[in-house]
């Protein structure tokens, strides 16, 4: 079972939809995708990517679909969604219209320059002409008396009637004019008229984009047979609505003299054309609320399909003049989906075009597919992209939402009332969660609480029933309830809380951080009970569920998923030891996780994950003692874009609904997409179809077509690879242009040496005997454990050579000595060149080289003038020289010339400015060196720089030990806690040992637990060794 709520057709064109009677398909283009609907039920049938960019026009005959993208045409097989051929690019400009004639054997296409091309679908023959230098708006083919004709409308108002000859050439037989012509339609003929030798030509209708008049042409006489005027716009409409007009034309196949047209606001009106006049006769209900772009006949005129700017696709019953199906398609991304527990057939969809779609999807399962698309839009007083939606847990008419601007509110769908809260976050994604009645101690009780967390790191608690009340800053209350933990987190100066979630029982509040740390608090006491630092990347998704709703799933930007079991804990420590392993860690996805959702099965646990790799994963979970066994069960890869959201159904617990950037909303069963036991192809549908397009076989001038396709593919691949490489370099590279020796020392030193030095550094700052701390931890090791298991890392903290490291963390004199070593290191470099940030070579003597190159590359002489002015400024006095030097430093900093900018700032004694230039460039070694040399030892900026650098390095698994040293040296509140956590995060025996020693030296509250953690790890290793 795969059902879909498809996206909107392409707008402002009459040529992106068609009907295939032989297959009973309605086909339309949505951006670069083809969407196919089954006309028997109007249900979704299939979709595929037909182009790399936006599709301009489509045409179809039997199972073949022809797609125009840019100046190229490709042929696809509708039955198996397979690309058949890419035709030679005969057009030089974008194609605007395609038609099939002569029983599907010949393609006719027109472009923006006025070029007309006829070619056989076999590619053996083609003909191109340019009779009018104006865009071809539409082509209406017609077979009359056994001869093929084309009515061609140009943007300049010309209408040509072309006779198609046997050799595909055309001959102009008639001409008319209709200013700004937009659409043409031939009167329907019966089979005898099309093939017999008759002299009565069918009538031709033409419409424009600017006025209300429709001309009915007597073609042989090139005269107007009748003029039809559509009703004028209502004076109640806005000026924009009155001035917006798009007239589509469709002669009825059942009544030859009946012409149906689309009018203002998408009104569809019928006119009786008789005796040279047009009389209004019949009107369809006003279902559309904006202009309509397409009118397509189905079942020989008994049904019709229209779509318009109001995002609706309407399936009309022309006999009863009623809309059998109204589909409000998606014109924007479905960012979030949530199903109401009180009304399990109703889903709220947060859309990217400032509305919430309330979708009655369950009607398909009970009363037929005609009701599958029943939906209503909540748009009143909404702004921006709706990023999150949550149904109220107890009131089935209220939906909480947050938008891209950080605003939060509750929408009452029963009253169509939008209640926006007074407080708000900074712009960006804001996660929200219902928390019931929340007691905040001295701050009182917040009833019907809605909690939010934004990219600004703030956590707010709102009273849902009183939106005019100011929100409570919950993060401050959490800090007051957990002072020790709050103090420990002060050292993480660059880390913010970014996401929250509350379990369905309103017992736990989970908070995700930008550094990957997960915190869990009890909502009744607001005490912290659990911390996990298993991963070091941004937390992007969280969800509570599983047995007793006590399992917490966490998704990360890296694509990993961790599972945690949370329980009520009494007398939990003030500073919990972070869990570095979690119950389970999954790497099923390779790109960021956007959403996680637990199923509603009673006897089983299933978890679904939506990822930016275009897929949804489903996992089965089995609890085993203190662990959980996770098995991939299904892999859904039907989306052609990054999957943004996923949720589980309540009625049928195997059903999921997912939404993605392809603007599709799919309803599917995970049992239909089981994960194979053997080798699994992880290629997404988008990757497969785009690969078909770039590697498609060519027809016509094969060498030219193949070269163009290959060139496009190669260029796209090279650009993509270059972007990936540049992004990786940008992410990986931290400029270290000056202090080469200290950087190399950091790279060369072993983890063991840095672990030992962390104890010595802490002792030099905070006091204590490092040897006593080591002996205390060693004394706790059970006698039965073989010393060979720990002798390698248990020893003196003075072991190992780390002169440069010791100097870097020493005092001012040590830093001077280190700079002497750096200078000698530079002197040993034979080939010298001025570096860009990140280079290892640095020589002040070559500073003029970069100045010279900059002036040579500049598009303006201003750079040279600036340097000349700077050189001459001393003659104007000290103040002028200082002002010029500072101005030059500012310009260099903006240009990314960090070293030169800092040098100029130092020259005019702007020490703090020089430090901040290095600081912004993440060149903390240089910033710390300047601060230690130029500032007093007690300046608070020095420890702040160490702490900032440690906070930046802590997310790198290869630099955790050095980050711990920075935190120790930082001496800011909580820095020692972060240092201990970093040493222990890898969960290796040696790391756990030195973390325990450091905790003992500092008399940390977790010292005994750290020792127990180390002993347990040692016991496990001993057990494995003996086994």
Q: What is the pLDDT of residues 313-345, one digit of tens each?
A: 999 999 999 999 999 999 999 999 999 999 999
Task: Determine the Cα–Cα distance for residues 642 and 440; give it in Å rounded to an integer.
Answer: 39
Task: Determine the Cα–Cα distance for residues 94 and 87; give it in Å rounded to an integer.
Answer: 14
Contact between 672 and 2 (Cβ < 8 Å): yes
Does pLDDT of 438 surpass 90? Answer: yes
- With 0-12 CB in 10 A as exposed, 13-18 as middle and 19+ as buried, what is 867? middle
Give the pLDDT mean for 797-802: 73
Quote the strand ranges of 311-414, DSSP E.
312-317, 322-328, 334-339, 347-351, 356-359, 375-378, 386-391, 398-403, 407-412
Confidence (pLDDT) at 866: 55
Q: Does 240 or 366 have the greater pLDDT score?
A: 240
Confidence (pLDDT) at 140: 97
Whole-Å CA distances, 765 to 770, 950, 965: 12, 17, 12
Does pLDDT of 870 surpass 60? Answer: no
Q: What is the pLDDT of residues 447-462, one digit of tens each?
A: 999 999 999 999 999 9
CA 184 to chain centre: 41
Q: What band does 277 get if pLDDT is binned at 50, 70 and 90? A: confident
Task: Determine the Cα–Cα distance for residues 588 and 675; give it in Å rounded to an integer.
Answer: 11
Q: Does 879 or 918 have the greater pLDDT score?
A: 918
Task: Determine the Cα–Cα distance for residues 434 and 450; give it in Å rounded to an integer.
Answer: 5
CA 617 to chain centre: 17
Contact between 639 and 4 (Cβ < 8 Å): no
Nearest to 611 by CA among 562, 656, 658: 658
Between 322-336, 518-532, 788-802, 810-824, the lowest mean confidence (pLDDT) is in: 788-802
Q: Does 77 or 798 have the greater pLDDT score?
A: 77
Does pLDDT of 1008 surpass 70? Answer: yes
Confidence (pLDDT) at 291: 95
Does pLDDT of 210 surpass 90? Answer: no
Confidence (pLDDT) at 598: 97
CB atoms within 10 A of CB 839: 15
Q: How many helices (H) and strands (E) does the chain have?
A: 23, 57
Secondary structure letter of residue 891 according to DSSP: H
Does pLDDT of 731 surpass 50? Answer: no
Rg (CA), the chain: 36
Residue labelled with tokens 């030859």: 256
Q: What band does 371 get if pLDDT is binned at 50, 70 and 90? A: confident
Secondary structure letter of residue 675 according to DSSP: P
Does pLDDT of 423 surpass 70? Answer: yes
| First-to-final CA distance of the chain | 50
Structure tokens at 189: 């003929």
Task: Determine the Cα–Cα distance for residues 869 and 290; give it in Å rounded to an integer.
Answer: 62
Give the pLDDT mean for 403-428: 92
Between 176-190, 740-754, 892-906, the lowest mean confidence (pLDDT) is in: 740-754
CB atoms within 10 A of CB 256: 16
Confidence (pLDDT) at 728: 40
Does pLDDT of 999 surpass 80? Answer: yes
Give the pLDDT mean for 535-553: 94
Mention every residue, 6+ apart, whose C-beta is less than 8 A from residue 852. none
CB atoms within 10 A of CB 780: 14
Give the pLDDT mean for 942-948: 92
Q: What band does 828 get if pLDDT is binned at 50, 70 and 90? A: low
Helix axes 751-766, 770-779, angle to 10 degrees: 120
Q: What band does 802 get if pLDDT is binned at 50, 70 and 90? A: confident
Q: What is the pLDDT of residues 29-56, one digit of tens each?
A: 999 999 999 999 999 999 999 999 999 9
Q: What band does 740 get if pLDDT is binned at 50, 70 and 90? A: low
Domain boundaries, the chain: 236-329, 701-732, 736-811+937-1027, 829-922
Q: What is the pLDDT of residues 573-594, one digit of tens each?
A: 899 999 998 888 888 999 999 9
Task: Determine the Cα–Cα distance for residues 854 and 843; give it in Å rounded to an integer.
Answer: 17
Whole-Å CA distances, 161 to 140, 153, 220: 9, 9, 10
Q: Does 243 or 162 have the greater pLDDT score?
A: 162
pTM for the model: 0.88
Confidence (pLDDT) at 74: 96
Nearest to 113 by CA among 128, 87, 89, 91: 91
Residue labelled with tokens 């799933």: 553
Confidence (pLDDT) at 891: 86
Does pLDDT of 703 surpass 50? Answer: no
Write down how long the chain is: 1027
Q: What band does 726 get if pLDDT is binned at 50, 70 and 90? A: very low
Between 193-202, 468-477, 525-534, 546-555, the lowest mean confidence (pLDDT) is in: 193-202
Mention every residue, 6+ apart, whose C-beta is less than 8 A from residue 48. 33, 34, 76, 81, 685, 689
Nearest to 349 by CA among 368, 320, 329, 363: 329
Confidence (pLDDT) at 156: 94
Structure tokens at 906: 């130092």
Give the pLDDT mean for 393-398: 93
Q: Tell me the pLDDT of the chain averaged across its residues.
A: 87
Does pLDDT of 308 surpass 90? Answer: yes
Please identify, in words, the CATH class of the domain defined by 236-329.
mainly beta
Confidence (pLDDT) at 294: 96
Q: CA neighbours within 13 Å on the CB side: how many for 555?
A: 29
Does pLDDT of 713 surpass 60? Answer: no
Secondary structure element (H or E) that encloses residue 459, with its range = strand 459-463
The partner residues of 644 in beta bridges, in order of sequence, read none
Structure tokens at 920: 């912004």
Share of the chain above pLDDT 70, in %: 88
Q: What is the pLDDT of residues 590-626, one digit of tens each?
A: 999 999 999 999 989 999 999 999 999 999 999 887 7
Does pLDDT of 26 surpass 90? Answer: yes
Does pLDDT of 92 surpass 50? Answer: yes
Between 193-197, 577-581, 703-707, 968-972, the lowest mean confidence (pLDDT) is in: 703-707
Secondary structure letter of residue 157 according to DSSP: S
Q: What band does 859 get if pLDDT is binned at 50, 70 and 90? A: very low
Quote the strand ranges of 675-822, DSSP E.
698-699
Task: Determine the Cα–Cα distance for residues 187 and 142; give it in Å rounded to an integer.
Answer: 9
The partner residues of 109 in beta bridges, in order of sequence, read 98, 117
Contact between 750 and 981 (Cβ < 8 Å): no
Dihedral over alpha carbons 699, 702, 704, 706 (to 10 degrees): 80
Does pLDDT of 748 surpass 80? Answer: no
Does pLDDT of 159 surpass 80? Answer: yes
């Amino acid at each position: 079972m795969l059902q879909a709520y498809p996206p909107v057709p392409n707008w402002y064109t009459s040529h992106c939809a068609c009907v295939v009677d032989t297959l009973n398909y309605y086909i339309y283009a949505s951006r670069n995708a083809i969407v196919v609907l089954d006309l028997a039920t109007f249900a979704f049938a299939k979709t595929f990517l037909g182009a790399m960019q936006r599709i301009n026009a489509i045409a179809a005959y039997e199972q073949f679909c022809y797609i125009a993208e840019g100046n190229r045409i490709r042929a696809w097989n509708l039955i198996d969604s397979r690309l058949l051929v890419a035709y030679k690019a005969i057009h030089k400009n974008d194609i605007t219209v395609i038609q099939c004639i002569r029983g599907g054997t010949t393609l006719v296409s027109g472009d923006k320059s006025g070029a007309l091309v006829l070619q056989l679908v076999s590619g053996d023959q083609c003909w191109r002409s340019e009779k009018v230098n104006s865009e071809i708006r539409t082509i209406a083919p017609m077979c009359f008396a056994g001869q093929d004709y084309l009515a061609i409308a140009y943007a300049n108002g010309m209408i040509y009637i072309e006779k198609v000859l046997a050799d595909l050439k055309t001959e102009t037989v008639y001409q008319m004019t209709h200013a700004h012509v937009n659409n043409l339609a031939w009167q329907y003929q019966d089979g005898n008229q099309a093939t017999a030798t008759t002299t009565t030509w069918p009538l031709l209708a033409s419409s424009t984009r600017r006025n209300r008049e429709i001309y009915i042409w007597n073609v042989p006489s090139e005269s107007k047979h009748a003029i039809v005027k559509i009703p004028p716009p209502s004076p109640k409409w806005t000026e924009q609505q009155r001035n917006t007009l798009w007239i589509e034309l469709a002669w009825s196949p059942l009544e030859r003299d009946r012409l149906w047209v689309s009018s203002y606001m998408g009104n569809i009106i019928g006119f009786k054309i008789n005796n040279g006049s047009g009389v209004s006769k019949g009107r369809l209900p006003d279902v559309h609320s904006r202009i309509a772009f397409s009118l397509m006949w189905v079942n020989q005129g008994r049904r019709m399909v229209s779509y318009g700017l109001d995002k609706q696709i309407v399936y009309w019953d022309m006999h009863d003049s009623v809309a059998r199906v109204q589909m409000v398609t998606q014109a924007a991304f479905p960012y979030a989906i949530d199903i109401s527990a009180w009304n399990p057939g109703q889903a709220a969809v947060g859309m990217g075009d400032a509305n919430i779609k309330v979708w009655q999807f369950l009607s398909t399962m009970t009363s037929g597919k005609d009701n599958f698309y029943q939906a209503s839009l909540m748009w009143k007083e909404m702004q921006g992209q709706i990023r999150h939606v949550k149904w109220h847990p107890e009131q089935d008419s209220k939906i909480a939402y947050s938008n891209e601007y950080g605003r939060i509110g509750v929408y009452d769908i029963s009253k169509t009332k939008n209640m926006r809260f007074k407080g708000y976050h900074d712009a960006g994604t804001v996660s929200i969660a219902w928390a019931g009645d929340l007691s905040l101690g001295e701050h009182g009780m917040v009833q019907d609480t809605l909690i939010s967390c934004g990219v600004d790191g703030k956590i707010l608690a709102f009273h849902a029933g009183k939106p005019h009340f100011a929100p409570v800053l919950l993060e401050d209350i959490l800090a007051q309830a957990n002072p020790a933990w709050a103090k420990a987190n002060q050292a993480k100066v660059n880390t913010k809380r970014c996401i929250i979630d509350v379990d369905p029982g309103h017992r736990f509040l989970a908070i995700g951080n930008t550094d990957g740390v997960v915190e869990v608090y009890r909502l009744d006491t607001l005490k912290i009970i659990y911390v996990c630092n298993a991963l070091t990347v941004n937390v992007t998704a969280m969800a509570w569920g599983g047995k007793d709703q006590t399992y917490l799933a966490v998704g990360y930007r890296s694509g990993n998923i961790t599972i945690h079991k949370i329980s009520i804990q009494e007398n939990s420590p003030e500073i919990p030891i972070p869990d570095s392993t979690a119950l389970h860690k999954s790497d099923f996805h390779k790109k960021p996780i956007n959403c996680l959702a637990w199923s509603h099965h009673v006897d089983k646990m299933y978890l679904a994950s939506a990822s930016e790799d275009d897929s949804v994963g489903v996992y089965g979970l089995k609890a085993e003692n203190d662990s959980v066994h996770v098995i991939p069960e299904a892999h859904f890869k039907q989306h052609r874009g990054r999957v943004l959201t996923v949720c589980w159904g309540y009625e049928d617990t195997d059903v999921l609904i997912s939404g993605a950037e392809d603007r599709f909303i799919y309803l599917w069963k995970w049992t239909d997409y089981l994960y194979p036991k053997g080798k699994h192809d992880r290629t997404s549908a988008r990757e497969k179809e785009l690969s078909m397009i770039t590697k498609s076989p060519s027809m016509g001038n094969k060498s030219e077509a193949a070269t163009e396709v290959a060139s496009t593919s190669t260029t796209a691949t090279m650009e993509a690879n270059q972007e990936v490489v540049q992004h990786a370099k940008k992410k990986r590279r931290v400029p270290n242009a000056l202090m080469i020796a200290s950087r190399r020392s950091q790279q060369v030193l072993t983890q063991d040496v840095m672990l030992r030095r962390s104890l010595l550094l802490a002792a030099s700052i905070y006091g204590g005997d490092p040897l006593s701390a080591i002996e205390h931890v060693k004394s706790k090791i059970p006698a039965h454990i073989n010393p060979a298991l720990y002798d390698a890392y248990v020893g003196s903290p003075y072991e190992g050579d780390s002169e440069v490291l010791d100097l870097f963390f020493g005092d001012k004199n040590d830093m001077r000595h280190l700079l002497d070593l750096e200078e000698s290191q530079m002197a040993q470099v034979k080939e010298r060149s001025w570096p860009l940030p990140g280079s290892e070579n640095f020589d002040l003597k070559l500073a003029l080289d970069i100045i010279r190159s900059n002036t040579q590359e500049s598009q303006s002489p201003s750079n040279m003038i600036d340097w000349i002015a700077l050189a001459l400024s001393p003659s104007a006095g000290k103040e002028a020289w200082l002002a010029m030097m500072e101005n030059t430093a500012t310009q260099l900093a903006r240009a990314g010339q960090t070293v030169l900018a800092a040098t100029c700032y130092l020259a005019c004694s702007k020490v703090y400015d020089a430090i901040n230039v290095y600081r912004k460039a993440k060149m903390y070694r240089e910033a710390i060196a300047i601060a230690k040399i130029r500032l007093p030892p007690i300046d608070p900026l020095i420890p702040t720089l160490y702490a900032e650098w440690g906070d930046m390095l802590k997310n790198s698994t290869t630099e955790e030990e050095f980050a711990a040293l920075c935190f120790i040296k930082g001496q800011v509140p909580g820095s020692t806690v972060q240092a201990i956590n970093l040493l222990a995060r890898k969960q290796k025996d040696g790391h756990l040992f030195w973390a325990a020693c450091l905790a003992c030296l500092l008399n940390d509250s977790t010292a005994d637990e750290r020792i127990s953690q180390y002993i347990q790890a040692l016991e496990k290793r001993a057990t494995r060794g003996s086994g």
